[in-house]
């Protein structure tokens, strides 16, 4: 089974400039994701970026480089377009079709190699064609405000509130990583296919970095739960 990891890391970031290569707990943020993939036993780890600086740092930590074109590097470019571009490049270089893609997110560094290993194990069972990482949650009730400012419950009926033990399991798609067959994204231009599975992660691994406060929070979690 040919498994590759494709890590997307654009150079531009409005919320937190250069966030993909900021020093996070002693090394560039992107290094944690590269190390996770390598430690999970993935031999073919690639970073796709429009930034030469990011690609150089990625190379220093053991990843192979893919220079992403500007037309799929902007704010409105989809992750799918970058994954497809990377898949085409990798298959040409390896002269071999990719079976499964592991697609971790740099800005979700709160994970272990074992989380990715769990995703690979589920993929190898053959039941699913696409898998997402998630955080199981309890008592998660969503409300939304309409145009008039009136609040309405979304995923439960507040008039008939169930007991905790009677509520169905809920999962947050935490975005830490995705696992999908190469043929699925080629066919649907989507990371999800017809048979979707999940990888459960600890709830505290659901946090991701978009702002300075996120960065500080994730550093604190990393130091307390993982590096410790």
Answer for the pair 99, 3: CB distance below 8 angstroms, yes or no. yes
Nearest Cα residue to 186 out of 87, 104, 94: 87
15 pLDDT tier (thresholds 50, 70, 90): confident
Res 45: pLDDT: 98
Q: What mean pLDDT is predicted for residues 16-24?
A: 94
Show the tokens assigned to 143. Answer: 């409300």
State the pTM of this model. Answer: 0.94
Which tens digits make up the pLDDT trace of 39-60? 999 999 999 999 999 999 999 9
The mean per-residue pLDDT over the stretch 77-81 comes to 96
Q: How far apart are CA 173 and CA 206, in angstroms?
A: 8
Q: What is the average pLDDT across 199-221? A: 96
CA distances from 222 to 49, 117, 162, 173, 181 (A): 25, 19, 35, 20, 30
Q: Which residues are catalytic?
A: 161
The predicted pLDDT at position 167 comes to 81
- Spatial distance between the Cα atoms of 89 and 66, rounded to a whole number of angstroms: 8
Structure confidence at residue 13 (pLDDT): 76
The 10s digit of each residue's pLDDT in 95-153 is 999 999 999 999 999 999 999 999 999 999 999 999 999 999 888 899 999 999 999 99
* pLDDT number for residue 6: 98
* Per-residue pLDDT tens over the stretch 138-181: 888 999 999 999 999 998 899 998 887 888 889 999 999 999 99
pLDDT of residue 107: 96
């Amino acid at each position: 089974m040919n498994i590759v990891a494709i890590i997307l890391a654009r150079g531009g970031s409005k919320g937190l400039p250069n966030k993909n290569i900021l020093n996070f707990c002693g090394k560039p943020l992107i290094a944690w994701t590269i190390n996770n993939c390598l430690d999970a036993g993935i031999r073919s780890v690639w970073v796709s970026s429009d930034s030469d600086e990011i690609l150089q740092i990625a190379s220093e930590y053991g990843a192979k480089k893919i220079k992403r074109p500007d037309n799929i590097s902007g704010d409105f470019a989809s992750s799918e377009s970058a994954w497809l571009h990377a898949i085409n490049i990798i298959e040409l270089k390896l002269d071999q079709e990719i079976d499964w893609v592991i697609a971790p997110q740099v800005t979700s560094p709160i994970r272990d190699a074992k989380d990715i290993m769990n995703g690979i194990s589920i993929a190898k069972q053959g039941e699913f064609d696409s898998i997402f990482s998630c955080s199981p949650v309890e008592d998660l009730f969503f409300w939304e405000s309409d145009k008039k400012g009136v609040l309405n419950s979304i995923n439960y009926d507040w008039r008939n509130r169930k007991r905790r033990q009677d509520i169905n399991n809920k999962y947050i798609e935490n975005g830490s990583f995705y696992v999908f067959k190469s043929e699925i994204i080629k066919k649907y231009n989507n990371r999800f296919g017809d048979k979707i599975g999940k990888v459960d992660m600890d709830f505290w691994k659901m946090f991701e970095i978009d702002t300075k406060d996120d960065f500080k929070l994730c550093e604190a979690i990393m130091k307390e739960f993982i590096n410790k």
